[in-house]
Amino acid sequence: MRLVEDILTPAELEAIQLVSNSETPRFDILVELSGLDPRRDFTYSDLRRLNLCGADLRGYNFTGSDLRLCARNDRTIIDDTTVLTDAQTDWIELEALPIVMKMQEVETASGSDRRLVVLNELIAEFGKSAHVVTYMVSAASKADSLDEFIDFALFLPQNLSKGHARMLQTAAAKLLKKKLSRSKSRTRRDTTIVFALEAISARLQESKGTLAAKIFGYLAEIADTKNQSVQLGGTYNIERADLEKAFARIGQ
């Protein structure tokens, strides 16, 4: 503690104490107590996830700062004197905060099992509204792996807009190529790709009435046209081209 006292001036220590003892959550009041200058101390800064509800932000300079996920409400005051040049301002309206927090839980999930649990909670609490579907499409399109993509496909509705379908088609094709390339690189044998393809089709079959189930249905149709068993778990072996065709039909 002596080190902190040696570094900071008495005025700075007093400001920290004032902010610490304050019972108000209002950002502008805390700034005033801290002695920070709104005109210069908030430029080019990482200010994500601040609570700006009820704050008077007139005269603040946020040039170049990251204000994403900052919460505001109808009492937050922003006018022409609030400088937002080159700032990232993907605000969260206070009413939307619970759903955004749940979406953040999805994004920070440690693995597929946890992601599926939180996605289930998201749907249970907020339904498959346009906002939720748009979020899940965006998250699926940015997935790092095909397994993560399928996690979202297990909850996405079957009927999607053309724009959303195109995003998912592109992502699925890229992630399939990535997954199969990794599968083969482990053993340099084509048999590992066959196992990977079977695992993918099995996952797509997990949930009825979803996009994943519809993709599985496309696979069944492809199998049927090849005069093979419609039961994909039977004698018919999934081929890479089959999955590529099925993903390309997303949105049809």
CA atoms within 13 A on the CB side of 47: 24
Least confident of 110-114, 155-159, 169-173, 234-238: 234-238
Read off the pTM. Answer: 0.65
Look at residue 36 and tell me whether its pLDDT is greater than 50: yes
Percent of the residues in the chain that have a pLDDT greater than 90, as a whole number: 48
Give the C-alpha separation, 212 to 156, whole Å: 8
- Which residue would you say has higher pLDDT here, 230 or 157? 157
Max avg pLDDT among 18-27, 63-72, 179-188 = 63-72
Nearest CA among 112, 167, 94, 93 for reference residue 136: 167
Work out the mean pLDDT of the chain and round it to a whole number.
85
Give the C-alpha separation, 96 to 143, whole Å: 24
- Which residue would you say has higher pLDDT here, 66 or 51? 66
**Confidence (pLDDT) at 230:** 47
Strands 71-72 and 92-93: parallel
Confidence class of residue 47 from pLDDT cuts 50, 70 and 90? very high
**Confidence (pLDDT) at 149:** 95
The helix (H) or strand (E) run that includes residue 150 is: helix 146-153
**Confidence (pLDDT) at 22:** 74
Nearest CA among 159, 143, 161, 57 for reference residue 107: 143
Q: Distance between the two ends of the chain, CA-based, in angstroms?
A: 65
Look at residue 235 and tell me whether its pLDDT is greater than 50: no
